[in-house]
Structure 1
Amino acid sequence: MIIKCPECGHQVSDKAPVCPSCGVEIAGHLIKCSNCGELYFKSEETCPNCHSTEQFHNVGSQNSGSEDVEESEVQYQPSPIEEFVSREDEQDDYEPEMLNSYAQQADMEEIPESEAEPAEQQNKNHVQLLVSFIIALAICGVLFYFYKQKDGDTTEPEAFEYTMKNASPGILEQFLEDYPDAPAAHTKAVKIQLAAMKQKNDERRKILQSTSRAEIIAFLKSNPSSEYKHELETKLDEMDWAEAVKGNSEESFLAYKQRQPNGTHNGEADEKLKVLLVHTASQADKTKAVEAVRKLLRGINTKNGAQIAEAVAPSFNFLGSAGATAASVEKYSRDKLYQADVKTVNWFLGEGADVTTEKNDDGTAEQHLNIPARLEINRQGGLSRKNYQIKAVVRNGKIVSINWTMRSK
C-alpha cells in the first residue's frame, strides 16, 4: 500500500525499509490510529493528531505470534515483481539491470524445476516478459496519473505541470474538467494551448482536403518547415499527374515533368511521351493533310475534276471502295450529290482536326486525319444541312483513303 511518510510527507510503500526521501525507517515502525486513522511512529506514545493512546495495528510489519491475530494485521509478502512495482511509486529512476533481475527471479520462483524449459526458450520468454512488463508500466503510469487525479491525491500544481508538459487535446480538456477552480493563470494557459492545438488541427484538415493547387503552393511557401510538407508535396504530385493524364498530349506530359522534376510519375511520363512523339504529326504535316482534304471537297463543290485529281493519289480508297480514281469521285458527285433539283453543293470543314503520324512497314510516313465537316445542299425546295465526320489518310500530300459518316450534330 502507498502511504505518506509521517516524517516528510513523501509517498512511499508501507513495505519499504526506509523512506527514500528522508531516510526514516518505515516497515514495522508505524502505527495507524484507530480513532482518526493517522499514521505515526511506534516510538510516539499518543497519536499526534487526536492524542489517542489506543493502537490499531502496526503498518508494514508481519505478525508471527498467536494464530488469533486479526486478518487485517497479517502482512502479505510481495513477490519480487510486486515489490518492484511498489518501489516504482517511491522513485522515478531505476536500473534496467534491477528490472531484469526481478523478472528473472520471478520466473525462477514460478516455474518448477521439473517443468523448466530449455535455456534458449527460457531466455526468449524472459525477454518477452521484460518487454511486456515495461509496456505495462508505461500504461499504468498514465492510468495512475488520472487515478490519482480522480481520488484527489495529485495536487493542482502537479497536475498543471504534467498537463503542460504532455499537452494533447485530451489531457488539456481533462485538466479543465478535473480542476474547475484552478488558478486563473493556469486555466488561461491550458485554454490557450488547447485553442492553439485545435486551430492547428483545423488548418491541417483544411489544407489536406484542399483541391486547389494554388492554395497548397501558397501554404508551402508560407510554411516551408511545415510537418505536412511531404504529405502536401505528394498530393501536388498526384494532382499534376492526373491533369497530365487527362490532357494525354505531349504538352501535358512535358508540363508535368516541368512542374515535378523529381515526381514519382516521371518514368510513366517518359513512356507516354515516347508513344506520343512517335505518332505526333508535325505542324507542317497537319497543315498538308488538312489542305489535301479541303482541296478535294472544294473540287466537289465546283465540279472541278483537275482539282479533285490534284488532291488524291492515282489509286485510292474512296468511301470503302479500293482502286478508286479522280473519275470515281466525279461520278459520285453527279449521281449522289448533283441531282436534278440541286442548285449548289457546298462542303465546309470544321475546326479541331486530329492528325497523327503512322509509320508503314517500308518506313514511309502517313498522316491519319479525323475532322468534322458540314454538307449544305441547296435544292429547289430549300436548303438542307447535314453533319459528317471525315476520316482520311494522306501520304506525301495525296489522299490515299477517305470516308465520311453522318453525325447527329
Structure 2
Amino acid sequence: MAIIKCPECNHEISDKAPVCPCCGAPIADHVVTCPECGKVYFSNQTECPQCHHLTGKEVAAQADVHTKPTNVHKNNRIIIMVVVAVALVVCGICYAFYHNAQSDKEQIAYEAAMASQDADVLQNYLAMYPNAPEEHVDSIQSHLEMLKAIDRDWTNAMVSGSKSAIERYLAEHPNSPFKSTAQHMIDSIDWSVASAAGNVESLEAYIESHPDGDYVEEANDAIKNLNTTTVQPEDKLLVAGVFNSFFQSLNARDEEALTSTTSPLMTKFLGKSNATRSDVVTFMHKIYKNGVSTMKWQPMDDYKISKKDIGSQKIEYTVVFSAKQTVTHDDGSTEDLQYRVNAKVSPEGLISEFNMVKILE
C-alpha cells in the first residue's frame, strides 16, 4: 500500500482505496504512476498529464477496459447532482409556501386589529408579530394611541356628567366604542329633565327627541295621566259652559233648560242626597218669592277645577267657584248676594252634585 495524491482533487489517499473520500473519484485499479516523473493519473489516459510519457499498448488496453466504469462514475455524479438540485428546489418551494402562509396570516391579523376598537387586540398583534412590516407596526401603534385618547376623553365626559360634555364627546368620536352608552346617558338626562318638569309639553318634547328612547313608554303613560288629571283649557270651557247654562236657565225660569244641565239623579243637591230633577225645579220656584220681579245669577270666572278618572277613561270634574246673585224686587229695589259653589260634573257633562253657601260680607 502506498500513499498517493488523488488525480482528481490532489488529496493524499491510499492507492488501495476504492474511491477518493473527498471527491468520489475511483482509485484502486484505476490509477497509475508515471515511471518518468512519478505523477499519479488515471489509467485510461494514454499519457502522463505532467511529462506526457506514453503508457504503451498495455496502458491503452487498460484504458479500454476501464472506460465503461469511468462513464458509470460520471453518470452517478450527474444523478447525485440532479437529486441535490431537485431537493434544493423542493426546499425552496416549501420555504416560499411557508413564508407566504406566514405573511398571509400576519396580513389577516393586521386587518382585524385595525378594524378593532379593543386595545387588547392591538397589543396582542404587536406581541405575536414582532417582525411585522414597519408600516403595519406604525399603523397599529397609531391606532392604539387613538383608542387611548378616546378612553381618556370618555373618562372626562363621564366625570363631568353633563349632557353638553357627552354630546361634545360623540361629535369628536362618532365611531367610539362607547357611543351606545353615551346615547343612553343623554337619553336618561333628557328624561330626568322632562319628568321633573311634569308637564305634557316637556314629555312630548322628550318623545320627539328620543322616539326610540328607554323611557318613551313611561313618558306616554305620564302624558296619559296628566291628560287625565291636569285641567286643560278645553276642560275649563266645558265646565264653565255647564254652569253658565244652569244659571241662565234659573234667570229665565226655564224648567226644561234647567233640568237639561243636571243628572237625572244627583248625588247631592243643596244638602239633599239622591236628588232628582224635580228637586232642582222646586228650588228654582222657591227662590222666586213674592215681590221678586227678576233675578240674575252670574258665575264668577274663578273656577278651581280638578279632574278624576273614574274608569274607562271617564272623567269627573270637581269644581269650586263664586256666583253672584242680583235680585230686583217689585218696588225697584235690588239686592246683591254672593255664594260659594261646590259642585261636580259627570263624564256626560251634567251637574251631578251641587251645593252652595252664602258668603257673608
Same fold (TM over 0.5): no
Q: Name the larger-Rg structure.
A: 2
Q: Pick the TM interval, shorter chain.
A: 0.3 to 0.5
